[in-house]
Amino acid sequence: MKQIDPMDIAELKAELETLHSASFGWALSCCRRDRGEAEDVLQTVYLKILEGKARFRGEAAFKTWLFAVIRQTAAGEYRRKLLRSLKLITGAEQAGDRASPEVGPGAAFEKSEVQIRFQTALKSLPTRQREALHLVFYEDLSLREAAEVMGISIGSARQHYERGKKRLRETLDTAEVAYGISWRRKENPDAV
Amino acid sequence: MELVGEEKKIQTLFSELRLADEQTVPSFGATWNRAQARALRPRRAFNLSFVAATALLICALVSLAWWSTHWQRPQPNVVAVTPSGVVPDRKPSAGVPASKESPAPSGSEPKKSVSAGHRFEGSARLRAGRLAARQEANLLAAEKKQAAAISSWQSPTATLLSSPNDDLLKSLPQLNESTNDLKSFLPNTPK
């Protein structure tokens, strides 16, 4: 991908628009599937780019750079949110603007049993492992690109990826077994 | 990346998730416009957290300054040594605090007085105080002896410096003396 001139807003906007959907997905993952927060993060990222606080210098692919900015911004927002919760300041004002996570066509899908189990398992993973899996499977990035986004070496990224896969499988298996037992109990309460 | 077995399963789950997410993606235009509006919004000259941090820092500095000016070192004031060996049965008065009493040299062993307010303190502390006072008195006595010895010291070769002609060497002729008297100061003239 060619280097984006920071001054060329129109070109930059076109690039961002192309990656908007993927960026939102990544922001969602970074914000622990909180849609409102993900939207705020994405908006802040665009603001940073507009103000020149985040500048693409062509050292990596544009997508990789953008994802790294999103990740950093999400981490910053999370810290700020933690601080706010410590101060016992409720974000009632912001919450009013946000759409509820359950609202929308995706909510019905997320209620499906398999996806609930999958998302629960995904949430139970350590952040780095979850990020590695998301970047590889959701965003179709290579491990090298995932490592660049996460700001770690490719070896570490591979380790997080492998461990994440293993842990996700284990969690899903456990959930499946538990679900199966409860399902059978529901159907036949006398069964042990 | 080539996927096998379980990876395909995970890939499928992620694909489903992506499809669901794509249906709820906010429009790019709206997000971009909001970001642009935020960029154009006039910023506050200072933010609240910065002000709070500065105020906290100033408070800390002021309290530190106040503490450093009002802080007094805890004073031992257990033992007061009297110079004359007489124990003044001094009670702590408002005018003269007990802590201002300073030890003075004395020939005999210094007597100590324990202020009434500190009598409850442990015997170990008293013993330590007494010992310190005794050591100080001994030190002062030794210094006095040394000073006396230094003042009366004479060089062992001092006698070699005196000669029979000391009178001539150490005296000068007076201007109103007679010529005959002055002749005595001239070396080669017959007297």
Residue B183 forms part of a structural domain: no
pLDDT in tens, A69-116: 999 999 998 888 888 787 755 555 554 444 444 445 555 555 578 888
Place of tokens 């080539």: B2
Q: What is the pLDDT of residue A138?
A: 93
Whether the Cβ atoms of residue B89 and residue B113 lie closer than 8 Å to each other: yes
Could you tell me which chain B residue has the CA closest to the CA of A119? B17
Alpha-carbon distance B54 to nearest alpha carbon in chain A (angstroms): 18
Same domain, B147 and B86: yes
Q: What's CA B127's distance to the chain center, in Å?
A: 27
Q: Whole-model pTM above 0.90?
A: no
Residue B176 forms part of a structural domain: no
Could you tell me which chain B residue has the CA closest to the CA of A140? B1
The shortest CB-CB distance from A118 to any of B6, B13, B39 is to: B13
CB-based contact, B39 to chain A, within 8 Å: yes
CA pair distance A139, B21, nearest whole angstrom: 12
Alpha-carbon distance A89 to nearest alpha carbon in chain B (angstroms): 13
Q: Is the ipTM of this complex over 0.85?
A: no
* DSSP reduced 3-state for A23: helix
CATH dotted code for A1-101: 1.10.1740
Place of tokens 């609930």: A116
Same domain, B88 and B144: yes
Q: How far apart are the first and last CA of chain A?
A: 60
The shortest CB-CB distance from B31 to any of A46, A51, A114 is to: A46
Segment A178-188 shows an average pLDDT of 52
Exposed, middle or buried by CB within 10 Å (0-12, 13-18, 19+), for B72? exposed
Range of the domain at B23: 1-40
Q: What is the pLDDT of residue A136?
A: 94
Most confident of A21-25, A95-99, A107-111, B164-168: A21-25
Alpha-carbon distance B64 to nearest alpha carbon in chain A (angstroms): 26
Cα dihedral B180, B183, B184, B188 sign: negative
Q: Which of A20, A28, A110 to mutate to test the interface with B (most CBs of B within 10 A)?
A: A20
Q: Which of B1, B6, B10 to mutate to test the interface with A (most CBs of A within 10 A)?
A: B10
1.10.287.130, 1.10.10.10, 3.40.50.1220, 2.160.10.10: which CATH number matches A112-192? 1.10.10.10
Residue B139 forms part of a structural domain: yes
Domain residue limits, chain A: 1-101, 112-192
Residue B168 forms part of a structural domain: no
Could you tell me which chain A residue has the CA closest to the CA of B18? A138
Cα dihedral A2, A71, A107, A134 sign: positive
Same domain, B89 and B143: yes
Residue B88 forms part of a structural domain: yes
pLDDT in tens, A127-150: 999 999 999 999 999 999 999 999
Of the ranges A11-20, A67-76, A177-186, B119-128, which one carries the lowest mean pLDDT score? A177-186
Segment B150-171 shows an average pLDDT of 82
Residue B179 forms part of a structural domain: no
Structurally, chain B folds into a number of domains equal to: 2
Contact (CB<8Å) A106/B23: yes
Residue B95 forms part of a structural domain: yes
- The pLDDT of residue B179 is above 80: no
Residue B114 forms part of a structural domain: yes
